[in-house]
Structure 1
Amino acid sequence: MTTVHSSTSQSSPVLPVRLPPTPRIPRFLQGLGFSLSRQWTVAQVVRRYGDVFTMTLPVFGKTVLVTDPALAKQLFMANTDDVGNIQPNLSRVLGSGSVFALDGTDHRLRRKLLTPPFHGKSIKNYERIFEEETLREAASWPEGQPFETLEPMMRITLNAILRAVFGADGAHLDELRRIIPPWVTLGSRLAVLPTPHRTYGRFSPWGRLARYRRRYDEVIGRLIDAVQADPNFESRDDVLALLLRSTYEDGSSMSRQDIGDELLTLLAAGHETTAATLGWVFERISRHPDVLARLQAEADTDGNEYRQAVILETQRVRTVIDFAGRHVYAPTFELGEWVIPQGYSIVVAIGQVHHREQDYLDPEDFDPQRFVGQRPSTLSHIPFGGGTRRCVGAVFANVEMDIVLRTVLRHFTIETTTAPGEKMHSRGVAYTPDDGGRVVMRRR
């Protein structure tokens, strides 16, 4: 399916362009600063120019950056004929059949197909998987000596999403376990770089990415054949079977290529960001004894209010995905007092939204208590993005983090440390703890 964006929009009149201020920094330096340290660069510009400004960025070109929650909401809730998915986007590495590639009606229909496996009863079925994978991984953890939690969390979340998507284990999944991690690491870095016109050989980064993709497609093709041949195909409740059985409103179904792209999206997006957040959780709680003690006590009960507050606060203070963007398709798009012309990108700097003094008392402090007894504002707490493009797996990820953290706390005691907090390390798209979220654990 192809989305056609009209050259004019019935919902928005054409207005004289009025752009936010532009930093008095050469474009080359703007782009270099954003490429090398986008969070630091955006923070410096915010300090000087306020909550909305214009920059010229690598990959995205002319871009309006927003850190005002009200403007972010306006952007997220805008008519999808006026502003659509940012261009270019993650479909460059995930494929043209990924939900990241779709806009407008096509995007809405695809989300409708993807939503059921990641909500309600389906999520409840996955809780056992989350606990089993945590215990399987934790069996080999060293006791009484520092180790990085990030890589174990990557394995837990990858195994969990593989089992949720394919419903079983086996040789094919072992092969995907070998393909997906290096593909995600490489793809995450390449996703924030300009795409070359050719791959420059099999040993170039883009050539290696293409080679991983070919291996992935071969495995997925065999898995699709196996699932369709299963005598119990109609009663299977894994994501792959649901996608193979699902149809659009006109009765058509997803192509094998689109299913492959969508599964790759789920596998990539469904494990790296969740694992990174869990790595940050361990990094944070090991440096806050009071928080850790309260978490430990709660883990022995059926409650999870404080654990949820810790996850929410970690997402706020150590934002893993720090921006969400849209592309202006309408001749002009009105954003607050500004009028943005067609062809511009508009990027919400999520990390900066999460650190506004207007919304959070002492925003640099790690204080889960701020979310105990009250949910965060959907304006000022947006780790999964917002609007029609909010992460379809947000509920899945939240339950997974909750169960993994609970399971670890029930089986291990985490030692506290007075070491400085780990710095944020950019993996390209996601931010992880610089030392891998190192902790010392002992079995209870």
Structure 2
Amino acid sequence: MSEATIDRPLETAERPVRLPPSPPVPKFLQAVGYAALRRQLIRRLTGMYGSAFTLSTPVFGPMVVVTDPALAKQVFTAPTEVLGNIQPNLSRILGPGSVFALEGSEHRRRRKLLTPPFHGKAMRNYEAIVEEETLREISSWPEGREFETLEPMMRITIDVILRAIFGAIGAELDSLRRILPPWVTLGSRLVVLPKPGRDLGRWSPWNRLAGYRREYDEVVEALIDQARSDPQLEERTDVLALLVRSTYEDGTPMTPSEIGDELLTLLAAGHETTASTLAWFFERVSRHPAVLEKLVAEAATDDNEYRQATILEVQRNRTVIDFAGRRVLSPTFELGEWTIPQGYSISVGIGMAHRDSEEFPDPERFDPQRFVGERPNTFAWIPFGGGTRRCVGAAFANMEMDVVVRTVLRHFVIQATSAPGEKWHSRGVAFTPKRGGRITVHRRTA
């Protein structure tokens, strides 16, 4: 029987296993395809097999991929004792103190500590930082000459995070600016590859990553010591200070290594992804003059409804992170008509869910109007993942993108273009515009 018609009556402690279809090619080729051309492969297999199929992957092993919002809802709402975090996950890069490494009650306790910095008054305090860093970066933008926006957006987002999340200033800020960009770039590429079973030498990428981490730990330890001795600690709003003075329900504080891992997690989750989305934003609106005209008119006011709708549509139409994963912990998991066995990974194909024609009519069309006065389905629009593992910094990222775009539109005229849309480029975890989201601008004179 071909693997393309999988229906295996393998007995388990629950129901017989029944897996979605799998492409009839060797597992090795499936794994290579997933590692090298993940987005294209998922799109093609969705066209062949529909909303669920099975793959062999190089890092996560046997995996069921789902692209239907109804199946995504099942995955995201499953009890944590049934579906846990995918293994391995980002904690192998970020450290065992990262929220990615935690399960069950430990995960809930940590998220409870991480939630307050990203809501209410704390968020309003961060807006001024975002505007300051944006103004500083765009002050040197060239006029009348095409340039890429991805790297400027990378600089803005990392400086915002270092100030708002790390509370870094002076020498520590300079050190982290030097260490973290190459760490993020290298880590995002290595996280989707199998880790070698032996030491490949001092010049191997894994050893270089470890070297960056040692330097990072020294700087963060100094920042934690400074925070603990700061007489103004209670008044500080940076996330490092909030974590230093916070405690679990039993009164115990976070350890320095846990704080360091979490700060790195917030950086990794919020730096490259937010910058990539902003680069796609400028790439998209420069090719849609009617959208750009509405954004410019709104930017002159205090409203942001259309800007928010455009950000939502960019995240749907040019999805930066294309999957969210879980791992089956129970003997079996019922997923639609399928029965998935323990140990299998389940991946929600975010990019393809965002192209569900029932949820998003004419899904290939870039149309912010679809979100004006209309909030998206929680399980169809999922750029931040879903369920108990939805990105804790989603509100922060949304605020940051809103303020950056508003500031740029108030100071520059973006020149519309009829050039073809930029192709997708994989940086390992995130997908960015291949040419960097290039635009041409002119400074506003009034």
Does residue 125 of structure 1 match 2:125? yes
Q: How does 1:12-91 map to 2 (within 5 A)?
A: 14-91=14-91
**Contact 1:317/1:366, CA 8 A, preserved across alignment:** yes
Relative to structure 2, which stretch is displaced further, 396-405 or 247-256?
A: 247-256
TM-aligned CA deviation for residue 166 of structure 1: 3.0
SS at structure 1 position matched to 2:18: coil
Partner letter of residue 419 of structure 1? A
TM-aligned CA deviation for residue 235 of structure 1: 2.7
Distance (whole Å) between structure 2 residues aligned to residue 344 and residue 242 of structure 1: 37
Does residue 249 of structure 1 match 2:245? no
**Contact 1:34/1:57, CA 8 A, preserved across alignment:** yes
Q: Which residue of 1 aligns with 2:415?
A: 415
Q: Which residue of 1 aligns with 2:237?
A: 237
Q: Which residue of 2 aligns with 1:7?
A: none
> After superposition, what is the alpha-carbon deviation per residue over 1:126-163, rounded to whole angstroms, capped at 9, x for unaligned?
11111111001011111110111001001111111111
TM-aligned CA deviation for residue 26 of structure 1: 1.7
What stretches of structure 1 of length at least 5 have no aligned partner? 1-11
Does residue 274 of structure 1 match 2:274? yes
> After superposition, what is the alpha-carbon deviation per residue over 1:330-386, rounded to whole angstroms, capped at 9, x for unaligned?
011111111111000000000000012222111111111111111111121000000
Q: Which residue of 2 aligns with 1:223?
A: 223
Q: Which residue of 2 aligns with 1:397?
A: 397
Distance (whole Å) between structure 1 residues aligned to residue 311 and residue 24 of structure 2: 38
Q: Which residue of 2 aligns with 1:99?
A: 99
Q: Are the structure 2 counterparts of residues 135 and 29 from structure 1 closer, same or farther at C-alpha, using a change threshold of 3 Å?
A: same
> After superposition, what is the alpha-carbon deviation per residue over 1:72-98, rounded to whole angstroms, capped at 9, x for unaligned?
111111010011000000011101110
Q: Which residue of 2 aligns with 1:5?
A: none
Does residue 195 of structure 1 match 2:199? no
TM-aligned CA deviation for residue 270 of structure 1: 1.7
Q: Which residue of 2 aligns with 1:285?
A: 285
TM-aligned CA deviation for residue 167 of structure 1: 3.1
Partner letter of residue 388 of structure 1? T
Distance (whole Å) between structure 2 residues aligned to residue 118 and residue 325 of structure 1: 24
Partner letter of residue 430 of structure 2? A
Partner letter of residue 42 of structure 1? I
> After superposition, what is the alpha-carbon deviation per residue over 1:289-316, rounded to whole angstroms, capped at 9, x for unaligned?
1111111111001111110111000000
SS at structure 1 position matched to 2:297: helix
Q: How does 1:283-362 map to 2 (within 5 A)?
A: 283-362=283-362
Distance (whole Å) between structure 2 residues aligned to residue 233 and residue 290 of structure 1: 48
Distance (whole Å) between structure 1 residues aligned to residue 199 and residue 410 of structure 2: 48
TM-aligned CA deviation for residue 13 of structure 1: 7.8
TM-aligned CA deviation for residue 168 of structure 1: 4.9
Partner letter of residue 153 of structure 2? M
**Contact 2:125/2:237, CA 8 A, preserved across alignment:** no
> After superposition, what is the alpha-carbon deviation per residue over 1:228-287, rounded to whole angstroms, capped at 9, x for unaligned?
111222332221111111111111111111111111111221211000000000000011
**Contact 2:277/2:320, CA 8 A, preserved across alignment:** yes
Distance (whole Å) between structure 2 residues aligned to residue 234 and residue 158 of structure 1: 25
Distance (whole Å) between structure 1 residues aligned to residue 307 and residue 234 of structure 2: 38
Does residue 429 of structure 1 match 2:425? no
SS at structure 1 position matched to 2:93: helix
Q: How does 1:143-158 map to 2 (within 5 A)?
A: 143-158=143-158
Distance (whole Å) between structure 1 residues aligned to residue 340 and residue 23 of structure 2: 17
Partner letter of residue 285 of structure 1? V
Relative to structure 2, which stretch is displaced further, 386-395 or 260-269?
A: 260-269
TM-aligned CA deviation for residue 169 of structure 1: 2.2
Does residue 163 of structure 1 match 2:155? no
Q: Which residue of 1 aligns with 2:210?
A: 210
**Contact 2:299/2:409, CA 8 A, preserved across alignment:** yes
Distance (whole Å) between structure 1 residues aligned to residue 63 and residue 166 of structure 2: 39
> After superposition, what is the alpha-carbon deviation per residue over 1:39-87, rounded to whole angstroms, capped at 9, x for unaligned?
1101111111110011111101110000010111111110100110000
Q: Which residue of 2 aligns with 1:263?
A: 263
> After superposition, what is the alpha-carbon deviation per residue over 1:87-127, rounded to whole angstroms, capped at 9, x for unaligned?
00001110111011111111111000000001111111111
Runs of 4+ in 1 over 4 A off after TM superposition: none
**Contact 1:180/1:268, CA 8 A, preserved across alignment:** no
Percent of residue pairs identical: 68
Q: Which residue of 1 aligns with 2:5?
A: none
Distance (whole Å) between structure 1 residues aligned to residue 40 and residue 71 of structure 2: 21
Distance (whole Å) between structure 2 residues aligned to residue 221 and residue 202 of structure 1: 25
**Contact 1:202/1:211, CA 8 A, preserved across alignment:** no
Distance (whole Å) between structure 2 residues aligned to residue 417 and residue 388 of structure 1: 41
TM-aligned CA deviation for residue 196 of structure 1: 1.1
In the superposition, the TM-score normalised over structure 2's length comes to 0.95
SS at structure 2 position matched to 1:63: strand
**Contact 2:201/2:207, CA 8 A, preserved across alignment:** yes
**Contact 2:168/2:223, CA 8 A, preserved across alignment:** no
Partner letter of residue 49 of structure 2? Y
Distance (whole Å) between structure 1 residues aligned to residue 292 and residue 327 of structure 2: 42
TM-aligned CA deviation for residue 198 of structure 1: 3.1
SS at structure 2 position matched to 1:45: helix
In the superposition, the TM-score normalised over structure 1's length comes to 0.96
Partner letter of residue 142 of structure 1? P
SS at structure 2 position matched to 1:166: coil
TM-aligned CA deviation for residue 317 of structure 1: 0.6
Distance (whole Å) between structure 2 residues aligned to residue 149 and residue 424 of structure 1: 15
Aligned length in residues = 433
Q: Which residue of 2 aligns with 1:385?
A: 385
Distance (whole Å) between structure 2 residues aligned to residue 288 and residue 356 of structure 1: 22
**Contact 1:17/1:341, CA 8 A, preserved across alignment:** yes
Distance (whole Å) between structure 2 residues aligned to residue 313 and residue 392 of structure 1: 21
